[in-house]
Structure 1
Amino acid sequence: MNLTAQYIQKSRALLDTIEAQTETIQQAATWFSRTILAGRMVHLFGSGHSRIMVEEMWPRYGSFAGFNPIVELSLSFHNLVVGANGQRQAMFLENVPGLAPRILRNYDLSNLDSALIISSSGCNVVPIEMAELFQQQGVKVVALISKQHADKSTSKRPDGKKLSDFADLVMDTGAPVGDAMITVPGLDTPVAPGSTVGGAVVVNCIKAELARLLTEAGQPPNVLSAANVVGSERAVTLFESAYDEHAHRLAKLYQNVGIPSYVSEQADTLIPQRL
């Protein structure tokens, strides 16, 4: 069997693993629907290449508002590889204790919120601390890991706890230990990872189930759609509506954050005065 066929075959096996988690996917979608219907947001976080799944969820075609993508460039900007803003720094920073609370200090969290935290190993400090802090605020946490890889990995936290220890629900990408799925003859290290394939399938299954639940609840989402599918005029309307809804939801995360000010205390009663 050629290597292309091998990768496709192994990817089909990932799909089988994901299909076996249908009830778990539906549970995640149910929690997320409650958050969105309450006017709040589902927080998305992933460091390193887990950022890919954050962007797969929102914003892109076939997606809709209701998600807060928390993407820290210091943890996920890989383009330069070396030098300033290089990969070494990002890999170091994702294991620095105390960074997660500084990130979440920017948001006014509610127990109506929910969160999806993505980490293939489930062992890096920042994603674990994010999940821990969310749970402390009463936020439901869904973790997306690669179970085989996570089980064989060692947590970077001194107490040995992993992302799964701070998750109300755990989902599996199906990827193997080490992530890479293909062994090349004459090469002693495998290539071609699988967690991105599995992770993208999981988040899109959640998205589909979630769209169904919102529609059944009488609040069908404004889905970012291509003009060659819905027509140019409707495509523009959907884009503008979805982005505006995102802004309105995001405003709630900032309005009462941290130390109160006269603006937050009187947000609904301020009357402009002539100077």
Structure 2
Amino acid sequence: MFSQFHQQVSSRLSALDAAAAAGAFDPAIDLLAESVKNNGVIQVFGTGHSEAFAMEVAGRAGGLIPTNKIALRTLVLRGNHQVDDLVGSSFERNPAGITELLELTEIHPQDVFIIASNSGVNGSIVELALQVKARGHQLIAVTSLQHTNAVNTKHSSGKRLSDLADVVVDNLAPYGDSTLETADGTGLGAVSSLTAAYLAQLFTIGTVARLAASGERPPVYISANVPGGDEHNDVLEALYGQRIRRDG
């Protein structure tokens, strides 16, 4: 099954590579590059395993400095919620905390948002998308089109993430996120985190290249574990102040 899983993963990464070469992700990269050029911050949100996508975009070596990971745990760290609220999956399905979450996040008009959600139907995901669009921001969605189109939304609006985004990028994960099946029918071999991480890097690489081509010096993190890394990063982070937080 190892080789079967390798084939499932590699075929999807190859498909994403071909899509990138064909310019399929240029609309997303255009929005990201334009935001950074205009002193914007790339605001990234994901819950559950999709938070890994946000971590791949925001605050890592080789990534763009003007990036901010929005996380539900911020409602506990700096808001009015309790630690017990984070237990289980009910928090990510509940849209109730999103207004407070956005109030706890410094957002400027030129900021662009990326929301990652494999299903694209949970309450917090859809509510954030609705509020982001109501504020007039551009929104990029990373989701499984196969999965989201096969399930009902859990938000009272009747909307899915893919219905609300300006740009929708398919992470190519299958329904249920299982690429393999055992003899007794048990599904396994989740792939959405792998394809999403690859997409995050494609977005970053494309945005940096776009900025450089326009004469901009891309604000990119150097690893803190190489000489001069901290000094380089501190200077550039200071330009954005509390707009980019690494404590959530």
TM range (shorter): 0.7 to 0.9
- What residue is the counterpart of 1:94 in the other structure? 92
Aligned to 1:264: none
3-state DSSP of counterpart to 1:9: helix
Counterparts of 2:138 and 2:178 in 1: how far apart (Å)?
31
Q: What is the aligned partner in structure 2 of residue 28 from structure 1? A: 28
CA RMSD of aligned residues (A): 2.5
- Corresponding residue of 2:194: 197
- Cross-structure match for 1:260: none
Match for residue 111 of structure 1 among 106, 109, 129: 109
Aligned residue identity for 2:8: K
- The normalised TM-score by structure 1 is 0.78
Change (3 A) 1:24 1:102: farther
| Alignment counterpart, residue 240 of structure 2, candidates 245, 249, 265 | 249
**Runs (5+) with no aligned partner, structure 2:** 76-82
The answer (yes or no) to whether the contact 2:42–2:66 under 8 Å persists in 1 is yes
Larger Rg, first or second structure (1 or 2) = 1
Q: Secondary structure at the match of 1:193?
A: coil
- The count of aligned residue pairs is 237
- Matched AA of 1:194: V
Deviation by residue 1:14-37 (Cα, 9 ceiling, x = unmatched): 124323532232221111111111
Most deviating of 218-227 and 170-179: 218-227
TM-score by length of 2: 0.86
TM-superposition CA deviations, 1:217-253 (whole Å, max 9, x none): 332234334589xxx43xx2x4433344234324468
User: What is the aligned counterpart of 2:137 among 136, 139, 145?
Assistant: 139
Separation in 2, partners of 1:20, 1:171: 14
Q: 1:29 to 1:116 in 2, by over 3 A?
A: same
**Residue 11 of structure 1: how far off its partner (Å):** 0.8
Which residue type is aligned with residue 196 of structure 1?
A: S
Partner of 2:38: 38
Contact 1:43–1:114 (Cα < 8 Å) also in 2: yes
Unaligned runs of 5+ in 1: 76-82, 255-275
SS, match of residue 219 in structure 1 = coil
The 5-angstrom pairing of residues 125-136 of structure 1 reads 125-136=123-134
- What are the Cα deviations for residues 105-164 of structure 1, in whole angstroms up to 9, with x where unaligned? 123433311000000000001111111111111110000001111111211012321001
**Cα distance in 2, alignment partners of residues 222 and 110 from structure 1:** 18
